[in-house]
Structure 1
């Protein structure tokens, strides 16, 4: 019910609440002292001043303790409630026989822990604190045995006010924390965007220029250098795609699959993705990208250097489908089964196994002379990813 100490690091949004509680406690002590001065019929006024002294000392302790996030935990909240209830239970000894319409010796000070519980733990904690204090107050008044309607009315009104204070202030405190967390996430995303822009400028000014130079010089030299130039050109195209990609921020713990797939684009690989993000849990997105990379490796290995591949990604409400198609010679009938029987598990493990672990399916369509199409379909949301 109550947040742990790690969450207590949110100092900024909580401090105004704790300052307000401190002011409330101080004002309540002044009010309780004024009532004691005016009370001519108290049986033991000296004991009343002793209780006021305890309330004053505890107020000073709580003002400093609640100001420290490290001390603001279950132990302090429990101690606050115990001290308050004990002071409240001293009322019959101080006042003597119950006086109609009289407040307890603590007066409104007994609402302090109720508000503190609500600020620290939210609505439910505030309601629980109100129930404890109200129960002690009603037990003192013996509301179940009093026939005087005025006495019962005063008691019930106090209970209602305590519950309203605990629940409403707890609700407001929760809303304030949620607003602060959203603002923090927005600030972090803005900072991450600025960092991406800075890195993009650095890549554009250095890495892309070097890759372009390697591609140009490799073509001029020819031979093995031409192959290196071709690879450098593919990587340059992939990096330019990443630099120019403008996408919406993904929720925490997820990854936009479009970013991973567009890294495979180049002179011999065409990547087509939708305009909207294809968000998957980060682990699942990486597994899908690895399966696509395995399919592209098969294209290069079996279709030759001149083959072209196309990657098409589509998103639906519950699933994401990625299709890898090539213009190679196709897979002869029975070849995949023969490879699996011979222990060559590239397709079985690198592609089918990865997607199966994500709860998805793989469909491979091929015909001699018509190329091969590998369709990967995975569910959105939380999916089991093998370690």
Structure 2
């Protein structure tokens, strides 16, 4: 476990001393591994030095072996702290550490006799070499570990000068162990990132709930009261009450979803000019904030959320629904066209519902209304007569995206439009925005 200092926001530490840092414990799956690696390198160095002392007289050139052991000890004395954390363990240090191990293995050919090497005598760095490989595994994952252990394997085979069974056994053991540890480290890092993201979402959700409670206890209740009193008084007060009711619905949607309008679009309640009627809420276009083929991905929820109003109910998943920017803009324009049809054909008092679903391979947006419905064959007749609102504004957009648009309508029971867009699709040769029906 690694401790991190967190300074509270203004007012968050009231009663506990302002400006004083709070101690928070932050999980780190790597820290125990780095500590274990440091201990392994120190202990194996001690083992190698003891092994050298007992085998000193058996070396063909003991002074060469002694010089390497001295250099290795000095290297460890100056670098042992490098393996205590990921920040200190740089790529340059790992390369130097591995070079010390590989050089010691090759130097065994000079320091030791051919007979002892053939009999399977330990190399000069012996098991200390595994520490250099494990450093690559913890720092860079299983791919770095595979490369480092492969280099160790080649140098060991060169030193032994034959495919001896014990040498192959040791090489395979180091390779499998380092790759396995590297893979475990990668999985642990991914899990730690997922946990951190979940904790951030949980904290944001709690803050949103706190704000929602405060707003519900103040602003929303005042707006509701203005709506009721305005309707009771009548006249200009009734119009004021109607607008207050619309802003109450818009504010409830904003608080519950946590979404804000895209840049360039007016937020409900932002000012007198930003007050929208139900008809304007149905028809308002929601373009992407960026243009061009290189624009980044867009959250479809952010494009569709501003449609919510007194006559439009917006329902969305809890997480982002991401599409390429151009595809998200085309889908939003198709939804706007569908809402245009609700406004024109179902009437100003019709209620509409927008439902966003994030499927594994596609995004599905359903627009439903409680209007009179569409008589059978009406869409085909309209297309033959040259009224191409549905054919171009909706079905044509979805076709360019590789998706589809389906209508389900029962006379007297409303209409439902299901828009499907496969993920990763970008419309070619189209400009953002709505086409006129």
Same fold (TM over 0.5): yes
Is the CA contact 1:215–1:228 (under 8 Å) kept in the aligned structure 2? yes
Q: Which residue of 2 aligns with 1:172?
A: 184
TM-aligned CA deviation for residue 201 of structure 1: 1.6
Q: Which residue of 2 aligns with 1:323?
A: 367
The answer to whether residue 275 in structure 2 is matched with residue 233 in structure 1 is: no
Is the CA contact 1:295–1:324 (under 8 Å) kept in the aligned structure 2? no
Q: Closer, same or farther in 2 for the Cα pair 1:104/1:364, shift >3 Å?
A: closer
Q: Which residue of 2 aligns with 1:133?
A: 152
Q: Closer, same or farther in 2 for the Cα pair 1:278/1:362, shift >3 Å?
A: farther
Structure 2 residue corresponding to 1:281, chosen from 322, 326, 344:
322
1:136-151 correspondence to structure 2 within 5 Å: 136-144=155-163
Q: Which residue of 1 aligns with 2:107?
A: 90
Q: Closer, same or farther in 2 for the Cα pair 1:381/1:346, shift >3 Å?
A: closer
Structure 2 residue corresponding to 1:14, chosen from 30, 34, 57:
30
TM-aligned CA deviation for residue 36 of structure 1: 1.6
1:9-48 correspondence to structure 2 within 5 Å: 12-39=28-55, 40-48=57-65
Q: Closer, same or farther in 2 for the Cα pair 1:168/1:95, shift >3 Å?
A: same
Unaligned runs of 5+ in 1: 1-9, 145-151, 247-252
Unaligned runs of 5+ in 2: 1-25, 259-296, 433-437
The answer to whether residue 420 in structure 2 is matched with residue 378 in structure 1 is: yes
TM-aligned CA deviation for residue 119 of structure 1: 1.3
Q: Which residue of 2 aligns with 1:216?
A: 228
Structure with more helix by fraction: 1
The secondary structure found in structure 1 opposite 2:368 is strand
Measure the CA separation in 2 of the matches of 1:206 and 1:346: 43
Q: Closer, same or farther in 2 for the Cα pair 1:70/1:298, shift >3 Å?
A: same
Q: Which residue of 2 aligns with 1:292?
A: 335
The secondary structure found in structure 2 opposite 1:90 is helix
TM-aligned CA deviation for residue 156 of structure 1: 2.2
Q: Deviations over 1:25-72 (max 9, x none)?
A: 111221111122111221222221211122123224443334454453
Measure the CA separation in 2 of the matches of 1:308 and 1:287: 25
Measure the CA separation in 1 of the matches of 2:88 and 2:227: 63
The secondary structure found in structure 1 opposite 2:419 is strand
Is the CA contact 2:331–2:421 (under 8 Å) kept in the aligned structure 1? no
Count of residues in Structure 1 that have an aligned counterpart in Structure 2: 355
Measure the CA separation in 2 of the matches of 1:224 and 1:327: 29
The secondary structure found in structure 2 opposite 1:324 is strand
Higher mean alpha-carbon deviation, 225-234 vs 82-91, is at: 225-234
Measure the CA separation in 1 of the matches of 2:346 and 2:49: 92
When the two structures are superposed, what TM-score results if normalisation uses the length of structure 2?
A: 0.67
Is the CA contact 1:29–1:52 (under 8 Å) kept in the aligned structure 2? no
Structure 2 residue corresponding to 1:118, chosen from 137, 140, 143:
137
Measure the CA separation in 2 of the matches of 1:279 and 1:11: 26
Q: Deviations over 1:126-176 (max 9, x none)?
A: 2221111121011111114xxxxxxx2332232122123212222332232
The answer to whether residue 67 in structure 2 is matched with residue 50 in structure 1 is: yes
Q: Closer, same or farther in 2 for the Cα pair 1:35/1:371, shift >3 Å?
A: closer
Is the CA contact 2:250–2:308 (under 8 Å) kept in the aligned structure 1? yes
TM-aligned CA deviation for residue 88 of structure 1: 1.8
TM-aligned CA deviation for residue 194 of structure 1: 0.9
Measure the CA separation in 2 of the matches of 1:310 and 1:120: 54
Measure the CA separation in 1 of the matches of 2:62 and 2:42: 20
TM-aligned CA deviation for residue 75 of structure 1: 2.9
Is the CA contact 1:358–1:379 (under 8 Å) kept in the aligned structure 2? yes
Greater relative CO (CA pairs within 8 A, separation 6+): 1
Q: Closer, same or farther in 2 for the Cα pair 1:359/1:308, shift >3 Å?
A: same
Q: Which residue of 2 aligns with 1:79?
A: 96
When the two structures are superposed, what TM-score results if normalisation uses the length of structure 1?
A: 0.74
